[in-house]
Amino acid sequence: MGLSGMKKIVIVGGGFGGIELAKKLRNQHVDITILDKHNYHTFQPLLYQVATGGLEADSIAFPIRKIFKGQKNLKFRVTEVEKVIPAENKLITTIGIITYDYLVIATGSTSNFFGQTEIEQNAMPMKSIPEALNLRSLILQNLEAALIAKNEENERKLLNFVIVGGGPTGVETAGAIAELKKHVLKNDYPELDIQRVNIYLIEGSPELLGPMSKQSQVKSQEFLEELGVAVYTNARVQSYDGNILTLADGRTILSSTVIWSAGVKGVVLEGLNPDCTVRGNRLKVDLINRVECYQNVYAIGDVAAMISEETPNGHPGVAPVAIQQGKLLAKNLINMIEGKGTSNFKYFDKGAMATVGRNRAVVDINKIHFQGVFAWFTWMFVHLMTLVGFRNKLVVFVNWVWSYFSYDRGTRLIIRPFKR
C-alpha cells in the first residue's frame, strides 16, 4: 500500500505508454511511481533525424519531470530495475527496493539481432538518443576518414552506408542519408568524389514497409531509387564483421557503417516467469494488458504481446498502440480498485506513414493512400503535433523550415567521437 492507504502503482518506463498511463491517473486516488533509466522521454520516430544531422537530440527529448509538473500523486525516479520479485510485489532497483500493488511494465523494445553476436558487435543500433548520437558521430567520422584513406578499398568501405531492415526506420534513414549525400556532402567534401558514396537498403521480404499498402510499398522503393539508394529486397544478412557484410545469397558489400533496423525485441524485466514471454521477447498479455501468469502485473506498448484471434502476432510496435493501451489501462486499474468491471482493448488504427526525403513520403489512412509532397507535409504535421512539449515543437519546426529552404543539415557535429 502506498501513502495513506492508496494503492501503489509502479510504472517502469517513460515512453509513450507509461507517460500516457501516468497522466491519465492524474486526479485519481492512487500513489504512482514512474521509473526510467533516463530523465527524459524520447520521441523515437525522429531518432533517425538526429542520427543524420537534421535535428538536435535535445529537441526530441523531453524532461519527464516537466511532463508531470504539479501532479501530486506521482513520484519519478531515475533508476534501472535489476529484478522483479512478483511473489513479494517488489522491484530491486539501482536505488533500492520499491514495492507495488500494481506493476506496469512499459519498457518498450530494443534492437533485435536475433542472436547474431558478431552483427550485434559491429552494426549500429538506433533505438535511443545516445545510440543515435553515436551513429551521427560514426557517419561523420567515416567521411573524415575517407578523405585521408590510404587505398581505394578502404575509401570504398568508408563511403558505403548500409541500412538493414526496410521498415519505416530503415526507409527513413536510407532516405535521410541519401539527402545528406545530395545536398550537404558535395559542399562539405569537395575533395571527395561524392558519386562514390553508396547507400544500400537491405530487406528480407519482397517489399519495403511490410504492413503498409501495396501502393506505399512500391512508391517508397521508387522514391528511394530516385534518390540513388540501392534497394535489395528478398535479401538476408548472413554476417557482418565490421568490414564486409555478406548476404545469404553470397553477395558482399564492403562497409564500415551498417545500421541495424531489422527488428526489435521487448525489454523484459529479470525475474518474471519465462513462460509468459512469447516471440520477440514480449510479455503475453490478456485483453486488459494483464501479463498472463500474474494477477497484478501489466505490460503495455512494444513489450506487450496481446495475442488473440484478431491479432495473432500482437499489435504493431508503434506509438498509438502504446498510448491507447496506457489510456485504457488507467481506466481499468481505477475500475478494478473500485471493484468495477474492466473493458477489453481494441486498437484504433489511425494509419501509417513514412517519409523518404524532401517532398517524398507515403501515407495510408484507412483505405486512403497518397504519396508525394502532400504526404510529406502530412507526415511533418503529424510528427510535429505528436512531439511532446511546445519548445521542442518550435525548435523542430524552425530546423525543418530552415533545412527546407537552405537544403542543409545543421547538426553535423562529432560532439563525442564514437569508439567501438
Interface residue with a second copy among 114, 118, 130, 252 (CB under 8 A) is: 130
**Least Å from the CB of residue 67 to a second copy:** 11
By the rule CB under 8 A, 69 interacts with a second copy: yes
108 three-state secondary structure: coil
Q: Does the footprint of a second copy cover residue 65 (CB under 8 A)?
A: yes
Out of 6, 23, 26, 63, point to the residue binding a second copy (CB under 8 A).
63
Contact 9, 3 (CB under 8 A): no
13 binds a second copy (CB under 8 A): no
The binder of a second copy chosen from 99, 395, 400, 418 (CB under 8 A): 395
On whether the CB atoms of residues 208 and 262 are closer than 8 A, the answer is no
144 counts as binding a second copy under rule CB under 8 A: yes
Distance CA 259, CA 257 (A): 6
CB 413 to a second copy: min, Å: 5
Q: How many chain residues are in contact with a second copy, going by CB under 8 A?
A: 50
Cβ-count burial of 296 within 10 angstroms (0-12 exposed, 13-18 middle, 19+ buried)?
middle
Stretch that binds a second copy, among 164-172, 195-203, 224-232, 391-399 (CB under 8 A): 391-399
Query: Looking at 131, 155, 172, 179, which residue is catalytic?
Result: 172
Choosing from 154, 316, 408, 418, the residue that interacts with a second copy (CB under 8 A) is 408
Judged by CB under 8 A, the stretch of 99-107, 345-353, 364-372, 400-408 that binds a second copy is 400-408
Whole-number Å distance between alpha carbons of 306 and 303: 10
Beta-strand (E) ranges in 225-351? 229-232, 237-240, 244-247, 252-254, 257-260, 264-266, 277-278, 282-284, 297-299, 304-305
Residues 324-353 that bind a second copy (CB under 8 A): none
Q: How many Å apart are CA 377 and CA 358, to the nearest integer?
A: 10
Query: Is 59 an interacting residue with respect to a second copy (CB under 8 A)?
Result: yes
- What's the rounded Cα separation, in Å, for the pair 71 and 329? 18
DSSP letter for 141, please. Answer: H
Q: Which of 40, 102, 240, 376 binds a second copy (CB under 8 A)?
A: 40
Examine residue 392 and tell whether it contacts a second copy (CB under 8 A): yes
Selection from 415, 417, 350, 408 nearest residue 184 by Cα: 408
Please report how close the Cβ of residue 164 comes to a second copy at its closest, in angstroms.
Answer: 26
To the query of whether residue 270 is one of the catalytic residues in this protein, the response is no
Instruction: Please name the helix (run of DSSP H) or strand (run of DSSP E) that holds residue 385, with its range, or none.
Output: helix 373-386
In one letter, which amino acid is 132? A
Phi, psi of 257 (to 5 degrees): -130, 100
Residue 91 as a binder of a second copy (CB under 8 A): the answer is no
Distance CA 126, CA 176 (A): 14
Whichever of 39 and 233 has its CB closer to a second copy, that residue is: 39
Q: Give yes or no for residue 183 binding a second copy (CB under 8 A).
A: no
Which span (285-293, 295-303, 316-324, 397-405) binds a second copy, by CB under 8 A?
397-405
Backbone region of residue 359 per phi and psi (left: phi > 0; alpha: psi in -120 to 50; beta: other values): left
Q: Does 257 bind a second copy (CB under 8 A)?
A: no
97 binds a second copy (CB under 8 A): no
Q: Is 360 helix (H, G, I), strand (E, B) or coil?
A: strand
Does 32 participate in binding a second copy (rule CB under 8 A)? no
Where on the chain is the footprint of a second copy (CB under 8 A)? 38-40, 56-59, 61, 63, 65-66, 69-70, 72, 75, 77-78, 95-96, 129-130, 133, 140-141, 144, 147-148, 187-191, 389-392, 394-395, 398-399, 402, 406, 408, 410-416
Which residues carry out catalysis? 172
